[in-house]
Amino acid sequence: MFRYIIRRILLAIPTLLVISLAIFGLSKCAPRDPALELGEASFGDYKQQESAVRLRAEKLGLDKPAFYFTLATAAFPDTMYRILPPDRRERLEKLCAQTGNWPDVRRLEMATLALWDFASTLPDTMSRAGDFRAASADMVKCDRAADFGEMLAKARQSAAFLARPQAQILLDTLQNRIEILQTAMHPERMNVPAFYWHGLDNQYHRWLTGFVTGDLGLSRSSSKPVWESLQFSLLSTLIINSFAILLAYLVAVPVGVAMARRKGKAADQIARWALLFLYAMPVFWLGSLLILFFATPGYGLNIISGIDLEPWQASGKTYWDWCLSNFDKFILPILTLNLHALAILALQMRGGVLENIGQDFIRTARAKGVGEDAVYWRHAFRNALFPIITVFASVFPAIFAGSLAVEYLFQFPGLGLKTHEAFLGGDYPVLFAILMLAATLTVVGNLIADMLYAWADPRVRFS
C-alpha cells in the first residue's frame, strides 16, 4: 500500500508542474496588468508616471523575465522585459521588428526623449511652443521608423520661431540618429532565432515557489498579501461546502442502498423520480425557490429573515463568532448545494449496489446463509463504493473552490464570488492563485480517490 501511495504522489507532481505552466502561461496571455498602466494623466507627466510604474513593477516582481529562458529573434535584445511601461516596450518592439537594429533604436529613443525634455521646459507664452511640444510628443510615441523624417520636419518648422540654439542642436542630433537607423536596417535578423537564458530569477519561479511557501504576492485591488485577502473567502466556502458534502454522503449512502434493496417497488420508483428531478433542476433555480419559500416575507414559511450577511470586517467580531451569529444565513446555501449533490450520490450508490448484488460472491454468501443486511452492507457495499469514490474526486475541489452560482445568488462571501470579483477587477494575482489552488485540489482529490480505491479493493494496488 505504501509503495502504491508513493507511486501515485510521484505521478501527481509532474501533473501539477504542467498545470502550473498552463496557468502561468494563461496569466501572461491576459490583458495587461493594471499595476503597469500609466493612467489617464497628460503626456507631460509621462516620465514621472514611468518612474512610478517601474517602482510598482519592482515591488511586484514584474520587472523580471517571465520564464527561465526566452526564445526570440536576433532583432530583439535579451533585456526587453526590463523596458517599462508595456506600451513603451510594445513601441520599441515594433521598431526593432522593422529595423533589426536594437542599439540604434535605443539611441533614437534617447534622442527623442531629450527633445521632449527640452520642449516640456518651454513656457506656454512662447510663440509656437505648443506646436513644438506636440511634435516632440508625437516622435516619442512613434512606432513606425518611416514616419520619423516627416515628424522631424514638423518639429523644425515649429523650432524656427523659438530662437533657441539648444533646440537646433537637439534636432540635429535627432536627425543624425534617424539617418543612421535608416541606413543600418537589418530586417533579416527577424528570421534569425535567438535563445536567452535568464536563470532562476524569473516571474514563473518566483510565482511557483511563492505558491508552495504561501507567499502569493500582493493583491492589485487591496495591496494586501493574496493569502490574506483569500483567507476569509476560503474559510467561508470551506464551511458551507464541507457541511453540504458531508450531509449529502450521510444521507445519500443509506438512501441509495435502501433503494437498491427495494428495486422496482413503489418507494424505489418515487425516490428515483424525486432524485432525478433534483439532479435536473439548475442550482440557481433551486436556490431561488428556497429563498422564495424560506426567506421572503409574504411567501412561504419566512423562517429565515433574509439572506444578507453582516459584513465581517465591520462587525468587530472574531471570524467564528461572526459565523455563529449569522449561521441561519448559511442554511440555504448549504441546503442548495446538499440537495444537488445528494441526488448524484444516491443514484450512483443505488447503481453500484445493483451492479454488485448479482455477482457470484453475493450468491455464494446467500447460499451460506448470510442475512440480507450483511449481504448488502458487508459484501455488496464495499464493492459498490467505486462510483461514490469517483464522484468524491470531482466534488472534493468544490469544497474549497466554491460554487459561483450559489454564492452569487445568496451574495455569500466565498471563494466563488471572490473569483468573479477578481476577474472583473483585473486582480490577476488573486485570480490565478485561485485557479492554481483549484487545480491542486483537483489533483489531490484524484490522489485521495486512488487511495480509497486501493482501500476498497486490494486488487487495485497490485495492478
305 pLDDT tier (thresholds 50, 70, 90): low
* Residue spans in the chain of domains classed CATH 1.10.3720.10: 226-462
What residues form DSSP beta bridges with 218? 225
- Of the candidates 38, 47, 39, 42, the one whose C-alpha atom is nearest the C-alpha of residue 118 is 47
Is 461 or 187 the better-scoring residue by pLDDT? 187
Is residue 196 scored above 90 in pLDDT? yes
Looking at per-residue confidence, does 125 or 274 come out higher?
274
Whether the per-residue pLDDT at 454 is higher than 80: the answer is: no
| The pLDDT of residue 351 | 86
Mean pLDDT computed over 52-70: 85
187-199 per-residue burial string, b: 16 or more CB within 10 A, e: under 16: eebbeeeeeeebe
pLDDT at 420: 85
Rounded average pLDDT over 88-109: 93
- What are the CA-CA distances from residue 217 to residues 200, 205, 437 (Å)? 17, 13, 14
pTM of the model: 0.74
Q: Say yes or no to pLDDT of 34 above 70.
A: no
Of 193, 190, 199, whose CA–CA distance to 65 is shortest? 199
Homologous superfamily, domain 226-462 = MetI-like (1.10.3720.10)
End-to-end CA distance of the chain: 12
Q: Could you give the dihedral angle defined by the CA atoms of residues 419, 342, 381 and 258, in that order, rounded to the nearest 10 degrees?
A: 180
Per-residue model confidence as pLDDT tens digits over 397-451: 766 666 778 888 888 888 888 888 888 888 888 888 888 888 888 888 878 877 7
- Cell 476498497 identifies what position? 456
* 169 or 60, higher pLDDT: 169
pLDDT at residue 232 above 80?
yes
Average pLDDT over residues 242-251: 89
